[in-house]
């Protein structure tokens, strides 16, 4: 994939982030509405969508855009898509409302079910994570770009360092606690950090965490962009039966439960896969 296209996507995500920040820093009271699935939506979600959808549609001719903030085409139509953009204009709306800063703009290009390019922009921090299957992954800050890569687990265990796990601040805590106990019984101390949005996947991608178990519902637009970054950085995202997480394969856009793994060479499967499946 052309680096120039990736740069275009980064620029568009940065523009969407600016639209979000205009509302985030506004003195006006934030209006929060509820969508049919009971998830919150704000003017910032919609403002970012209005930046992203038309701009992405111009990059690759004939490649459709699937955004959380617009009508979802029926699967009969979507199933014909070999390539498409999948967008979460504001991932972490609850964190936006709580004003934690832990929210992102997510854009991925999916080809035949696999996210091959991803951009995760963090408006409050002015940081962008980007990755492409044939380019690698990097983190962009005001100081420039730094290549990122997942880290090895074996040497850290040998030196007595803890396993670093990231988890959702809002979802699935009880099941994650059980998993932590299982890991600690085999590998030693586990350090947990709770965080919102797709930043959790990016921490694994940049070697700041070893594992992110997601044992609660997500949608495909929540994960595709950051999955592309993780895999470009050398990691992997698998479902709770250790199959690669793939997209646009069914009518529902809900993901299965999944694990984001940094060190692919470590034997995580025996620790993580339970029988019967965790859900």
91 assigned binding-site residue: yes
90 assigned binding-site residue: yes
Query: Cα dihedral sign for 145, 149, 155, 156?
Result: positive
Q: How far does Cα 154 stand from its chain's mean position?
A: 25
- Residue 22: count of CB within 10 angstroms of its CB: 13
275 assigned binding-site residue: no
189 assigned binding-site residue: no
6 assigned binding-site residue: no
93 assigned binding-site residue: yes
Helix (H, G, I), strand (E, B) or coil at 118: strand
Tokens coding 89? 């204009």
Give whole-number Cα distances, 111 to 85, 101, 133, 153, 220, in Å: 9, 31, 11, 30, 14
88 assigned binding-site residue: yes
Give whole-number Cα distances, 126 to 16, 208, 232, in Å: 12, 18, 21
Strands 136-141, 163-168: pairing is unpaired
Q: How far does Cα 35 stand from its chain's mean position?
A: 21
**Binding site for substrate, residues?**
68, 90-93, 222
**Binding site for Mg(2+), residues?**
68, 88, 90-91, 222
**Binding site, residues?**
68, 88, 90-93, 222
């Amino acid at each position: 994939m052309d680096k120039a296209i990736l740069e275009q996507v980064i620029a568009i995500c940065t523009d969407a982030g600016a639209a979000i920040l205009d509302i985030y820093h506004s003195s006006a009271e934030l209006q929060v509405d509820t969508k049919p699935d009971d998830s919150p939506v704000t003017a910032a979600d919609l403002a970012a969508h209005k930046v992203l959808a038309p701009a992405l549609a111009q990059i690759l001719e004939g490649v459709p855009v699937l955004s959380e903030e617009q009508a979802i085409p029926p699967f009969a139509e979507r199933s014909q898509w070999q390539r498409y953009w999948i967008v979460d204009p504001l991932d972490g709306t609850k964190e936006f409302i709580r004003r934690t800063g832990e929210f992102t703009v997510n854009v991925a290009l999916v080809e035949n079910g696999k996210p091959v390019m991803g951009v995760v922009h963090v408006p409050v921090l002015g940081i962008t994570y980007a990755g492409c299957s044939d380019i690698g992954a990097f983190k962009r800050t005001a100081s420039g770009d730094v290549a990122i890569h997942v880290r090895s687990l074996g040497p850290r265990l040998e030196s007595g360092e803890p396993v670093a796990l990231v988890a959702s601040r809002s979802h699935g805590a009880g099941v994650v606690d059980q998993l932590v106990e299982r890991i600690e019984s085999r590998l030693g101390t586990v350090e947990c950090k709770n965080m919102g949005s797709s930043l959790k996947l990016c921490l694994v991608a940049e070697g700041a965490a070893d594992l992110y178990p997601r044992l609660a519902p997500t949608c495909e637009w929540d994960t595709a962009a950051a999955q592309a970054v993780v895999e470009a950085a050398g990691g992997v995202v698998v479902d709770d039966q250790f199959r690669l997480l793939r997209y646009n394969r069914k009518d529902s856009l809900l993901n299965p439960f999944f694990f984001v793994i940094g060190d692919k060479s470590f034997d995580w499967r025996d620790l993580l896969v339970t029988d019967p499946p965790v859900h």
